[in-house]
Structure 1
Amino acid sequence: MTAANANTAPETAIPALGPWTCFDVEIEGGVAHIRLKRPETFNSMIRAFWNELPVIVRDINDNVRARCIVISSTGKHFSAGMDLAVFGGGGTSNADGGAAPDRFIAAEGQRHHIRWLQDCFSCLDEARMPVLVAIQGGCIGGAMDMTSACDIRYATEDAFFCVQEINIGMTADVGTLQRLPKLMPEGVVRELAYTGRKFSATEAQNLGFVNAVYADQESMLAGVMALAGQIAANSPLAVTGCKEMLNYSRDHSVEDSLKYMATWQAGMFRPTDMMKSFQAKAQKQAPKYDALFPVKPLFDQ
């Protein structure tokens, strides 16, 4: 594939990488569906989970395999959160097998381990395409970190949420405390973080954490996949521009965000997509937009 035709290449049916221990991945109609597949363990986040998720998301993102991502799960619960074995990944012994280093060296290694875990979910926030998540049953601990990094959340009536870390004697450290205050009132976030109490799908919707609550998982997935299809049908450049601006505005002042918007629009507003939209409407057809370029285009040898 050359750089010249990369933006019009057909979508890949499945990611080039895999198979996966913790996930199933399907891509159809411009929508990548990433499904947690370990219901017998309540989809706990074992080491393989943390290794696989960023690889899958970045593969979809970098190679423009889809225009929207949907994350869902299987079984009774969306996810019980981080497997306890993952907590030991910070490194407490010397590489040469000698005695454990002093606490300062160990702490430096632990910091890098935590930053790595954080990056595993930040890839969802940083993806060029929107990420929608469909939640059933329990969304606990690390699952709160994960879902708060997605663009939009949906839930079933039986779903419940919990900032679980305080209940096991630690501070949530993989994104919940940084992202939740941007998604719901800070006073409520503080209550949830300090108490570790469960809150229902109805409360989550009232707080603005989830957009809609469905009667069951089947109807939820049907609704979420339909919404993802609507997103995928829009101009990929315009959609990624929306996500870029919304994320930037979340983290910066209004004035700085307006300046960035003007710069983005000056360089990346594409009249061609607007014309395609007008022409398709006049012809009563669905517009067909060019895909984004891959982040790392492949060139002919």
Structure 2
Amino acid sequence: MESYKTLEIVRKNTDSSVFHLILNRPSQLNALSLDFFFEFPKALTSLDQNPDVAVIILSGAGKHFCSGIDLSSLSSISERSASGEKGRSSERLRRRIKSMQAAITAVEHCRKPVIAAINGACIGGGVDLITACDIRYCSEDAFFAIKEVDLAIVADLGTLQRLPSIVGHANAMDLALTARRFSGREAKDLGLVSQVFGSKSDLDKGVTTIAEGMAAKSPLALTGTKEVLLRSREMSVEQGLDYVATWNSAMLISDDLNEAVSAQIMKRQPRFAKL
């Protein structure tokens, strides 16, 4: 398995199809460096293409999930973009931002469900990251902040686009304009996370159990459900229904369906082929 500077891929149980993608710069509180934006989509692609992977858990090594974008990386981007003729430097900066956006959006492009398991700080770019994930859980000690306005910038990696559909427009305005810190409990009340666990240990165990339950389901059904939900965000109900009708006309009649029905009738656990 390929090694990375900013990430680690772990399969904790050789019999499991749940893989862990870990932000692995604990001494820097898992701040997102320029290397991260190159490595993250690459790691996700490798997991997506690996037939042994059914579900991915995204977490942070150490006491914090992610403290945001590495400030030295931010300075480096600013310095590079400030050099040269204004039109060309602006175009270069736009390309850099688009590339970083694509790294976060890679979570949505991954066919396999990605679950965020958040402990400690989840700040700035960390919020960009979790809002792209399919499901989010946190521990009691987790706290969140959309800090970009405090750095005199507009959040540009997805939070402002994804958060309103998760917590509502008014709540997203409040959190983004004040940059205030909010707790895991408030994140649960807002709908940002689905459940709050008592400790990091409880979080790890609980999320692994949830992921294992998902991994036992039809991979075609998991992939299709993720794809249809993501597409339906930007469609009317009628368009969404038409899209899922087209999807199921291609995917519904499958060995997975036959196996699921057979398992129900025989009162046994289904066994699905890898994707």
Q: Secondary structure at the match of 1:194?
A: helix
Amino acid aligned to 1:145: D
Q: 1:55 aligns with which of 27, 37, 42?
A: 42
Amino acid aligned to 2:93: Q
CA RMSD of aligned residues (A): 1.6
Amino acid aligned to 1:89: I
CA contact (8 A) 2:166 2:191 kept: yes
- Give the corresponding residue for 2:90: 107
Amino acid aligned to 1:33: H
Q: Secondary structure at the match of 1:128?
A: coil
Deviation, 1:81, is: 0.7
Q: 1:205 aligns with which of 188, 193, 209?
A: 188
- Give the corresponding residue for 1:25: 9
Amino acid aligned to 1:272: D
Q: Secondary structure at the match of 1:76?
A: coil
Q: Secondary structure at the match of 2:63?
A: coil
TM-score for both structures, normalised by structure 2: 0.94
Q: How is 1:158-237 mapped onto 2 (pairs within 5 angstroms)?
A: 158-237=141-220
Q: Secondary structure at the match of 1:183?
A: helix
Amino acid aligned to 2:185: T
Amino acid aligned to 1:257: G
- The change in CA–CA distance for 1:100 and 1:166 in structure 2 (over 3 A counts) is closer
- The change in CA–CA distance for 1:109 and 1:115 in structure 2 (over 3 A counts) is same
- Give the corresponding residue for 1:153: 136
Amino acid aligned to 1:22: T
Looking at CA atoms only, which structure, 1 or 2, has the larger radius of gyration? 1
Partners of 2:218 and 2:62 lie apart in 1 by 35
CA contact (8 A) 2:52 2:274 kept: no
Q: 1:84 aligns with which of 47, 71, 84?
A: 71
CA contact (8 A) 2:148 2:179 kept: yes
- The change in CA–CA distance for 1:70 and 1:90 in structure 2 (over 3 A counts) is same
CA contact (8 A) 1:152 1:211 kept: yes
Higher mean alpha-carbon deviation, 49-58 vs 115-124, is at 49-58
Instruction: Give a deviation string over 1:143-199, Cα, whole Å, max 9, x none.
Output: 000010000000111111000101111100000000001101110101111110011
Deviation, 1:271, is: 4.0
Partners of 2:154 and 2:225 lie apart in 1 by 32
- The change in CA–CA distance for 1:208 and 1:176 in structure 2 (over 3 A counts) is same
Partners of 2:222 and 2:70 lie apart in 1 by 35
Q: Secondary structure at the match of 2:167?
A: coil
- The reply to whether residue 254 of structure 1 matches residue 241 of structure 2 is no
Q: 1:72 aligns with which of 37, 59, 69?
A: 59
Q: 2:268 aligns with which of 278, 285, 297?
A: 285
Amino acid aligned to 1:194: L
Q: Aligned residue pairs: how many?
A: 271
Partners of 2:41 and 2:142 lie apart in 1 by 25
- The reply to whether residue 137 of structure 1 matches residue 147 of structure 2 is no
CA contact (8 A) 1:90 1:111 kept: no
CA contact (8 A) 1:90 1:112 kept: no
Deviation, 1:108, is: 0.7
Partners of 1:58 and 1:90 lie apart in 2 by 29
Q: Secondary structure at the match of 1:290?
A: coil
Identity of matched residues, % = 37
Deviation, 1:253, is: 1.3
CA contact (8 A) 1:91 1:110 kept: no
- Give the corresponding residue for 1:7: none
Partners of 1:146 and 1:164 lie apart in 2 by 14
- Give the corresponding residue for 1:41: 28
